[in-house]
Amino acid sequence: MTEYTADVVIVGAGGAGMRAAISAREAGADVLVIEKGTAGESGCTKNSASDWMAFGAAFGHADPADSPHEHWIDILIKGALVAQPELARRIAYEAPHRLLDLERWGASFDKKDGEFVQILSDGARFPRACGKGAETGSEIMRALKTRAEEVGVRILERVMAADLLLSDNRVAGLWGIGLEDGKLIGVIAPAVIVATGGAGALYSLNVFPDGMTGDGVAMAYRAGARLVNMEFIQIGPCIVHPVKFALSGVFWRMKPRLINGDGREFLRRRVPPDINLEEALRLKGVSFPFSVRNDSMYVDVAVFEEITSGVPGPHGGVFLDITHNSKADIETKARVPFEHLLAQGVDIRKEAVEFAPCIQHFNGGILIKPDASTDVPGLFACGEAAGGQHGADRPGGNALADSQVYGAVAGAEAARYARSFQKRSCPVGALVERSIRAIQSIPSPSGCDWTGLLERVQSQMWRQVSVIRTEKGLSEAASCLQIAMGQLANARPSEMRTYLELRNLLQVGQAVVTAARLRAESRGTHYRADYPRRDDGNWVKQITLKYTGRTPDTETTRVEIPPEVAEGLRTGVLRMD
Ligand SMILES: Cc1cc2nc3c(=O)[nH]c(=O)nc-3n(C[C@H](O)[C@H](O)[C@H](O)COP(=O)(O)OP(=O)(O)OC[C@H]3O[C@@H](n4cnc5c(N)ncnc54)[C@H](O)[C@@H]3O)c2cc1C
């Protein structure tokens, strides 16, 4: 085993992890980043397959009436009142500073006359989204990587963190495996920051890059950190073949024809007769993720039902066709996606695209406090792996803002924690040995179909735990996960990476399903067809989950609504839809 030491070790070199590394290093800590793929290249920040990637920051350049306060209100309202107000406040007030950091380190965002070009994104009342078209994520990662090199961040690539090491109920470091050579590594560090992003691979249809298996969330959960808001997942219409690509509002504004696998239009037939279809499509154009907050939900539900109980296309989607628009209109009005897709061999002037509701972002994750610390001393979390800062839905652009705000907070706080922590020598070998012995004691017989098992879980999660949820479907998904967990407890894949990823996905899946079953109402991205109404009397609450090794322990905690938000909703100045 190769051993390393650091003051702060960070798992994940995406947007949040790299931002955390810079902050921790600037605060004087010796920092080591562990990355499963390639720093600056892996993860969602770099690989968000969409035509416009938004970073929400209330500069007020497009509308001087905007402010961090208004941004904060939007997070709470679009979050359907279950974002933690103090966590959301930091995103709103600190996002502009973090965007300026990125610009200072070389990222370029669209500007006009020295001011940021800011557009209106889903769930925002003011034009607030900054960006650089499809290149926003690349710009961010390029700047972060340059800065991380300047300040001397150490990075280990192609190493997968496997589990945290604990000593005296505190974090003592972590162990992992080299993905090239299979060798073990052990890191001794008083502070660990989890920045591993979301668990897109839990679902058969997702728009995440490969390898996003919820590792950090599961590691923290096993170590005793609570998870929160796990039932809230952003699911949006995305091309499923031949490329993964999120369908932005422009596609819906071009009056698309939605066609099933038999070549027949189905929308009118599937949408309830009392719903104004034109209005639902208009709303879909400004509401990327599925949400019960407005009638755009009927479009997503119709698509989901056509796929699950109608006639799907060959890749599990249905078709969106805008070819009845003139070529000139497509080339100009849909210029960015048109050019992007054409470069990948898809000509939307001539052909329909196969799409489906795909998992795009996890709103919940490891429960953090405003200083990004968790229930476990020495453990911090940020970015998509963290939870509580978003609610049942989130304004477009808030995940990137979150990654930079809480990345910076986590780095600075972890460095401070590490400084105050008395350095001790730690028996890393013994700790790793104990953690790995339990895994090695599981037999690894040949002939088990682990790929088949994973595919069954992914398909079950998409069918029962995505757009439409019911007690019946959720209990079937829970049984499927339970059976898979039982199999994995008695036999394991011979390849360690496969075992670790499968275990992580099953544990995260169990947390999602448990929370979704408990929340007997519909709110934001969580639609229970058997409880279709939002129930503010009982459910302005966050669900937290604690790992037990069996069904998680759950707790519900009421979220205190700030008086100005409650008053705004009472007088109608603020509206939930
Ligand atoms: C198609 C699409 C479009 C999006 N559009 C927007 C948008 O317009 N605006 C917005 O705000 N958000 C958007 N998002 C969401 C946003 O991109 C993500 O939430 C955000 O980038 C997450 O940043 P992160 O640093 O937390 O995680 P990531 O950038 O995903 O990085 C996580 C890193 O952790 C590494 N890792 C994982 N497990 C391990 C392990 N065990 N050991 C070591 N390393 C590990 C991964 O390889 C990866 O590099 C979009 C997402 C998608 C998929």
DSSP for 312-360, please give it.
--TTS-EEEE-TTS-HHHHHHHTHHHHHHHHHTT--TTT--EEEEEEEE
pLDDT given at position 404: 98
CB-CB contact of 485 with 514 (8 Å): no
Distance 3 CA to ligand 1 centre (A): 28
Per-residue tokens: 76: 């709470």
Using the atom order of ligand 1, give the atom closest to the CA of residue 41: 49
Distance 43 CA to ligand 1 centre (A): 5
What gap in Å lies between CA 505 and CA 207, rounded to an integer? 16
What does the longest C-alpha to C-alpha distance in the chain come to?
70
pLDDT given at position 449: 93
pLDDT digits (tens, 9 = 90+) for 287-310: 999 999 999 999 999 999 999 999
Report phi then psi at 398, rounded to 5: -80, -20
ipTM, 2 dp: 0.99
Q: How confident is the model at residue 420 (pLDDT cuts 50, 70, 90)?
A: confident
Using the atom order of ligand 1, give the atom closest to the CA of residue 211: 47
Nearest alpha-carbon partner for 124 in 64, 171, 197, 73: 73
pLDDT digits (tens, 9 = 90+) for 428-471: 888 888 889 989 999 999 888 999 999 999 999 999 999 999 99
pLDDT given at position 428: 83
Residue 576 has pLDDT above 80, yes or no: no
Nearest alpha-carbon partner for 253 in 281, 277, 290, 276: 281
Distance 529 CA to ligand 1 centre (A): 30
Binding site membership of 501 for ligand 1 (Cβ less than 6 Å): no
Q: How confident is the model at residue 425 (pLDDT cuts 50, 70, 90)?
A: low
pLDDT digits (tens, 9 = 90+) for 317-355: 999 999 999 999 999 999 989 998 999 999 999 999 999
- Cβ-based neighbour number of residue 341 at 10 Å: 20
Q: With H, G, I as helix, E, B as strand and everything else as coil, classify residue 115.
A: strand
pLDDT digits (tens, 9 = 90+) for 195-250: 999 999 999 999 999 999 999 999 999 999 999 999 999 999 999 999 999 999 99
CA triplet 452, 453, 456: central angle to 5 degrees? 85
Kindly report the protein residue whose alpha carbon is nearest to atom 52 of ligand 1: 48
Output DSSP code: residue 9: E
Contacts of 503 (CB under 8 A, 6+ apart): 218, 488
Residue ranges and CATH numbers for the domains of the chain are 236-359 (3.90.700.10), 443-539 (1.20.58.100)
Burial code (b: 16+ CB inside 10 Å, e: under 16) for 245-264 equals: bbbbbbbbbbebebbbbeee
Per-residue tokens: 27: 């605060």
pLDDT given at position 57: 98
Residue position matching structure tokens 């300026």: 100
CB-CB contact of 411 with 21 (8 Å): yes
pLDDT digits (tens, 9 = 90+) for 59-100: 999 999 999 999 999 999 999 999 999 999 999 999 999 999
What gap in Å lies between CA 502 and CA 487, rounded to an integer? 11
Contacts of 49 (CB under 8 A, 6+ apart): 207, 238, 243, 244, 245, 246
Instruction: Output the average pLDDT for the chain.
Output: 96
Distance 400 CA to ligand 1 centre (A): 9
CB-CB contact of 552 with 506 (8 Å): no
pLDDT given at position 426: 74
Using the atom order of ligand 1, give the atom closest to the CA of residue 246: 1
Binding site membership of 211 for ligand 1 (Cβ less than 6 Å): yes
What gap in Å lies between CA 502 and CA 481, rounded to an integer? 11
Distance 270 CA to ligand 1 centre (A): 34
Per-residue tokens: 234: 């952003």
pLDDT given at position 369: 98
CB-CB contact of 194 with 372 (8 Å): no
Binding site membership of 45 for ligand 1 (Cβ less than 6 Å): yes
Q: How confident is the model at residue 107 (pLDDT cuts 50, 70, 90)?
A: very high
Residue position matching structure tokens 């070819």: 323
Binding site membership of 34 for ligand 1 (Cβ less than 6 Å): yes
Kindly report the protein residue whose alpha carbon is nearest to atom 26 of ligand 1: 383
- Pairing of the two strands 170-178 and 159-167: antiparallel
Residue 411 vs residues 8, 80, 222, 292, 423: alpha-carbon distances, Å: 8, 29, 22, 36, 19
Distance 215 CA to ligand 1 centre (A): 13
pLDDT digits (tens, 9 = 90+) for 508-558: 999 999 999 999 999 999 999 999 999 999 999 999 999 999 899 999 999
Binding site membership of 42 for ligand 1 (Cβ less than 6 Å): yes
Residue 422 has pLDDT above 90, yes or no: no
Number of helices (H), then strands (E), in the chain: 19, 23
Binding site membership of 13 for ligand 1 (Cβ less than 6 Å): yes
Give the percent of the chain with pLDDT over 90.
92
pLDDT digits (tens, 9 = 90+) for 175-207: 999 999 999 999 999 999 999 999 999 999 999
DSSP states along 231-245:
T-EEEEEEEEESS-E
pLDDT given at position 423: 64
Residue position matching structure tokens 């607030």: 128
Contacts of 509 (CB under 8 A, 6+ apart): 199, 202, 457, 461, 465, 477, 481
Residue 424 has pLDDT above 70, yes or no: no
